[in-house]
């Protein structure tokens, strides 16, 4: 797969390996051609997913995961679009399954997929403004009510960039790896006494006479008989 991509694209493609998967980066102009070549020339007939990744400060990456079901080979196709005008040709003409993946990426990151048959919001309610997965998106919960605990860096008036760490409910304040006091120690467990073993049930055992008692008893019986 690597050799075929290098032969087709040469310096226009950058190949790397990550977590056992072959990753190929191309320019937006080669995006649709790469997906088509992966399907028809590399055997990647299975389209798994497509999404966006923000790369501050000025770009978004669009990533597609493809799979060859015959050779059990993975391919991660990737391209970059500028943040100022994030546009990319749609992959729906190559993989029909990319339809709702591109719609989700459009509403979450604002990447416009040109040529998409129905590029409308997929998950967000009507009238929603903004793109929630962008790093500059302000969470509504931070505006509607005060944030519990410490502020994010840059939000605190005290100028401290650190975040106060909290413990789960029920954990003592002086417990933990950085506390001065050692963790609380539980009391010793009650020692369970083991009851004495009982002898196995059965008929009572009778003691047999010792070897020195046998001859005396036998000779006494003969003497009685003789008399």
Q: What is the DSSP string of 95-130?
A: -TTHHHHHHHHHHHH--EEET-TT---SSSPTT--S
Alpha carbons 106 and 114: distance in angstroms, whole number = 11
**Per the confidence metrics, is the pTM higher than 0.85?**
no
Query: Does residue 46 fall inside a structural domain?
Result: yes
- Residue 113's beta-bridge partner residues? 88
Query: Does residue 139 fall inside a structural domain?
Result: yes
Q: Tell me what pLDDT residue 161 has.
A: 47
Q: How many domains does the chain have?
A: 1
Query: Does residue 165 fall inside a structural domain?
Result: no
Query: Does residue 121 fall inside a structural domain?
Result: yes
Query: Does residue 157 fall inside a structural domain?
Result: no
Q: Tell me what pLDDT residue 218 has.
A: 47
Query: Does residue 69 fall inside a structural domain?
Result: yes
Q: Tell me what pLDDT residue 143 has.
A: 57
Residues of the domain holding 53: 2-144
- Kind of pairing between the strands at 59-68 and 46-55: antiparallel
- Is the CA virtual torsion 209, 215, 221, 223 positive or negative? negative
67 sits in which H/E element: strand 59-68
User: Which residues lie closer than 8 Å to 152 by C-beta, 6 or more apart?
Assistant: 163
Query: Does residue 52 fall inside a structural domain?
Result: yes
Contact 50, 101 (CB under 8 A): yes
Alpha carbons 65 and 67: distance in angstroms, whole number = 7
CATH number, residue 68: 3.30.460.80
User: Which residues lie closer than 8 Å to 148 by C-beta, 6 or more apart?
Assistant: none
Contact 114, 120 (CB under 8 A): no
Alpha carbons 24 and 38: distance in angstroms, whole number = 11
Query: Does residue 9 fall inside a structural domain?
Result: yes
Alpha carbons 15 and 76: distance in angstroms, whole number = 10
Q: Please, what's the b/e burial string for 106-145 (b: 16 or more CB within 10 A of its CB; e: otherwise)?
A: bbbbbbebeebeebeebeeeeeeeebebeeeeeeeeeeee
- Block means of pLDDT (10 residues each) for the chain, 227 residues, are 95 90 96 97 97 94 96 96 96 96 96 96 87 83 57 52 50 53 50 64 58 50 48
54 sits in which H/E element: strand 46-55
Burial (0-12, 13-18, 19+ Cβ within 10 Å), 223:
exposed
């Amino acid at each position: 797969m690597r050799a075929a991509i290098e032969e087709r694209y040469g310096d226009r493609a950058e190949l790397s390996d990550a977590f056992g998967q072959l990753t190929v980066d191309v320019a937006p102009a080669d995006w649709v051609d790469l997906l088509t070549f992966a399907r028809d020339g590399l055997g990647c007939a299975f389209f798994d997913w497509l999404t966006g990744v923000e790369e501050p400060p000025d770009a978004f990456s669009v990533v597609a995961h493809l799979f060859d079901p015959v050779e059990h080979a993975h391919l991660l196709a990737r391209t970059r679009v500028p943040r100022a005008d994030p546009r990319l040709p749609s992959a729906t003409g190559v993989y029909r399954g990319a339809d709702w993946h591109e719609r989700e990426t459009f509403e979450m990151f604002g990447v416009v997929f040109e040529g998409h048959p129905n590029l409308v919001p997929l998950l967000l309610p009507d009238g929603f403004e903004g793109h929630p997965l962008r790093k500059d998106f302000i969470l509504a919960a931070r505006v509607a009510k005060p944030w519990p605990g410490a502020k994010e860096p840059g939000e605190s008036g005290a100028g401290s960039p650190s975040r106060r760490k909290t413990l789960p409910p029920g954990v003592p304040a002086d417990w933990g790896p950085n506390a001065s006091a050692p963790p609380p120690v539980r009391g010793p467990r009650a020692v369970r006494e083991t009851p004495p073993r009982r002898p196995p049930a059965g008929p009572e055992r009778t003691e047999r006479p010792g070897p020195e008692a046998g001859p005396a008893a036998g000779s006494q019986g003969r003497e009685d008989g003789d008399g």
